[in-house]
A = this chain, B = another copy of it.
Amino acid sequence: MFAGNVVDQRHGAPITIGYGRYAPNQRLVETLAVDDVMIVIEGRLSVSTGGSTETAGPGEIIHMPKGEHVTIQSHDEGALTAYVTYPHWQEAQA
């Protein structure tokens, strides 16, 4: 998964904004250090948390609240997302 910030802690705004690219059939397991919103632009992503899985396609929004434990799974076609995090995810991981 490739994440490219467009706006982040270097720019004075309180949020990080960027694009994310998922390869085909990629799986990412993560506990969210920040509130993270993804808008799917191309492809599909399935997000599992607890016992439930939601799949989002182009134009759909996924909100992953801070503290949530998620599995993000792309499919055969991979996925492109725009994301917004509050606060800055790179600072929260540091």
Contact = CB atoms under 8 A, between A and B. Distances in A.
Interface string A12-52: 11110101000000000000000101010110000000000
Q: Taking the full assembly, how many copies of this chain does it contain?
A: 2
A37 B15 CA distance: 9
A14 B41 contact: no
Q: Is the interface of A mostly helix, strand, loop or mixed?
A: strand
Given A37-B84, A82-B39, A63 B6 contact: yes
A34 to B, nearest CB: 9
A43 to B, nearest CB: 12
A63 to B, nearest CB: 5
A9 to B, nearest CB: 13
B84 A13 contact: no
A59 B80 contact: yes
